[in-house]
Amino acid sequence: SSSSFMGYRSPVICIMGHVDTGKTKLLDKIRRTNVQEGEAGGITQQIGATFFPDIALQEQTRKVDEDFDLEVPGVLIIDTPGHESFNNLRMRGSSLADLAILVIDIMHGLEPQTVESLELLKKRRCPFIIALNKIDILYQWNAKQYTSVQEALSRQQQSVRDEFQTRYNNVVLQLNERGLNCNLYWENDDYRSSVSIVPTSALTGEGVPDLLYMILKLTQDLMGDKLEVREKLECTVIEVKNIEGLGTTIDVVLLNGTLKEGDTIVLAGLGGPIVTTIRALLTPQPMKEMRVKNEYVHHAQISTSMGVKISAPGLDDAVAGTELLVVGPDDDLDELKEEVSEG
Ligand code: GTP
Ligand code: MG
Ligand code: NA
């Protein structure tokens, strides 16, 4: 195209997998928050979104590769539920993703929603890595907070490393049986044909630097063009929520383009297209989960890639999972209404 290079946007990463494999806990460990402990029954029931700025990422990636060059402004990570009844939310979350993290519990191996997630990712041709989580449960694991996983493994006594190898081999075999090649990420010399496995612990943070490093390395190396900032709006509604003091709000993922306070927006509603005006554009603080009630930051305008809460009148019957459009000076409102209805 003729448009000039405007820099890179933050990649959008979707974290998915079977219930209780540690998806939210991993994000908590990166955020240094306790979202998971506040969940009813410890079960995630909504899509979440957290923005991680480059500085926070760099602090971790440096532990894996001192010279790693961060080219993106951050990453936006989408949390999804693993419970079997939330297939629609996994589909919604993964449809937004540039890359996914599939979390597998090293003690359990492949489970029903692991397989379901694998199928979903394959269907969408969404590249992914595997976090082989809960390594700290290996018998007599010797933990050291937030260290790189190679360092963590080499610190273990032989019996622990043997148990790791046995469990790792089992999971790899199960994945092979589903037609997937995979390797420990530091032994993987072909990211395109083999899936990288990152052993992690959400309890100790071991492997967390590696997980962030791999997300960034893969998105930067494999998707450069796809991550170039584009002016055209790409914005999807992920949740519709009532917030005390704000009324019904929508949480959106803004992938490309700009939203401004006062913009006229069009989106799908149960009773037909909704046309309304943005009253407030809110984000949580960096490293805070959007689905948890926060001190929101107000923005006059906001650009890619970000999780944004929109407050506007008339959102009561907004439909999640659909596109949001902004009415520009040259746009025909009826055409836009038709576009969101076809969604
Ligand atoms: P859903 O969102 O409900 O599908 O679950 P999840 O995948 O987000 O898992 P969650 O973060 O809720 O963790 C489930 C349980 O496993 C919690 O009790 C966590 O404390 C525990 N857990 C998660 N990761 C680890 C880990 O690496 N090590 C240990 N020992 N426990 C973990
Ligand atoms: Mg969860
Ligand atoms: Na859980």
Which atom of ligand 1 is nearest the CA belonging to 113? 4
* Interface pTM, i.e. ipTM: 0.99
Amino acid at 21: T
H or E element that contains 162: helix 158-177
Kindly list the protein residues that place their beta carbon closer than 5 angstroms to ligand 3, a single-atom ion. Answer: 20, 42-43
Distance of alpha carbon 20 from alpha carbon 137, whole angstroms: 14
Q: Is 223 exposed, middle or buried (0-12, 13-18, 19+ CB in 10 A)?
A: middle
CA–centroid distance, 111 to ligand 2, in Å, is: 16
Per-residue pLDDT of the chain (343 residues; tens, 9 = 90+): 456 788 999 999 999 999 999 999 999 999 999 999 999 999 999 999 999 999 999 999 999 999 999 999 999 999 999 999 999 999 999 999 999 999 999 999 999 999 999 999 999 999 999 999 999 999 999 999 999 999 999 999 999 999 999 999 999 999 999 999 999 999 999 998 999 999 999 999 999 999 999 999 999 999 989 999 999 999 999 999 999 999 999 999 999 999 999 999 999 999 999 999 999 999 999 999 999 988 899 999 999 889 999 999 999 999 999 999 999 999 999 999 999 988 6
Instruction: Give the residues surrounding ligand 1 with Cβ less than 6 Å away.
Output: 19-25, 36, 42-44, 81-83, 133-134, 136-137, 201-203
For ligand 1, atom 13: residue with the closest CA: 22
Put simply, whether the predicted model's pTM sits higher than 0.90 gets the answer: yes
Read off φ and ψ for residue 310, nearest 5 degrees.
-110, 125
User: For residue 318, what are its two tokens?
Assistant: 């907004």
Ligand (nearest to CA of 19): 1
Distance of alpha carbon 321 from alpha carbon 82, whole angstroms: 18
Based on C-alpha coordinates, what's the Rg of the chain? Answer: 20
The pLDDT of residue 2 is 52
Kindly list the protein residues that place their beta carbon closer than 5 angstroms to ligand 2, a single-atom ion. Answer: 23-24, 44
Amino acid at 209: P
Amino acid at 326: V
The pLDDT of residue 105 is 98
Which atom of ligand 1 is nearest the CA belonging to 18? 4
**Per-position DSSP letters for 248-315, written without gaps between them:** EEEEEEEEESEEETT-EEEE-BTTS-EEEE--EEEEPPTTS-TTS---PEEESEEESSEEEEEE-TT-
Written in H, E and C, the secondary structure of 32-66 is: CCCCHHHCHHHCCCCCEEEEEEHHHHHHHHCCCCC
CA–centroid distance, 210 to ligand 2, in Å, is: 20
The pLDDT of residue 195 is 98
User: For residue 219, what are its two tokens?
Assistant: 């998105």
H or E element that contains 197: strand 195-199
User: For residue 249, what are its two tokens?
Assistant: 């709000």
The pLDDT of residue 329 is 93
Query: Which residue is listed with tokens 């590696």?
Result: 210
